[in-house]
A and B are shown apart, each in its own frame.
Chain A
Amino acid sequence: NAGVTQTPKFQVLKTGQSMTLQCAQDMNHNSMYWYRQDPGMGLRLIYYSASEGTTDKGEVPNGYNVSRLNKREFSLRLESAAPSQTSVYFCASSPGPWDNQPQHFGDGTRLSIL
């Protein structure tokens, strides 16, 4: 019973490189979310997927793309990484859609862009 699993846990990239962060949940949740966490900024929503087949922009979507591969998996892609995207990235899920239920978080991916 893993909950929300994120891979990788750590990554260092060079400016301009691309990469995909993976997220999978085993709780049969409909809704999934990607956040970034920066010091003093709290958790800011990048993109979310209210249900399989839908994705929507959050507060800070620029520079990112997402794919809801199936009900379990929701990936976040950085096409051309920039130093400003150095952050800790959290994936979360909730029963959803359109509910007011707790979100369950993964352990995060610590991403550094040089």
Chain B
Amino acid sequence: GENVEQHPSTLSVQEGDSAVIKCTYSDSASNYFPWYKQELGKRPQLIIDIRSNVGEKKDQRIAVTLNKTAKHFSLHITETQPEDSAVYFCAAYYNQGGKLIFGQGTELSVKP
């Protein structure tokens, strides 16, 4: 079935450290994997996405890697800052039905 597992559920790091969040998906036909950031009381906002023809994508301090064989993808945040504190969601696009399935979310806390 359609399923996205996300780990860890909470993550606490010191300012300046790196943070890594991992997701696995169930459908080998998935070909699009976005990541969303949600600050407290706000809407989810897209921060980076990757398509299946690419193994890695970077945007300043944020990078995403994709391993299609293992069906997992990861978000990497380097040089974390307090404003990175938020809940992060991964998602996988399932062609059958044309919909995104989201992971359960990771609450990231960056301590000054």
Contacts and interface: CB of A to CB of B under 8 A. Distances in A.
Interface of A: 31, 33, 35, 40-45, 48, 50, 56, 58-59, 90, 96-108
Interface of B: 2, 6, 9, 31-32, 34, 42-46, 49, 51, 89, 91, 93, 95, 97-105
Contacts of B103: 42
Across chains A and B, which 10 residue pairs bring their CB atoms closest together, nearest first? A100-B32, A105-B43, A43-B102, A42-B104, A98-B98, A42-B102, A100-B93, A102-B46, A42-B105, A105-B44
Say whether chain A's binding surface is mostly helix, strand, loop, or mixed: loop
Contacts of A40: 9, 104-105
A45 B100 contact: yes
Given A33-B100, A102-B34, 10 more contacts: A42-B104, A43-B89, A44-B102, A59-B2, A96-B98, A101-B32, A103-B34, A105-B44, A105-B45, A107-B42
Contacts of A108: 43
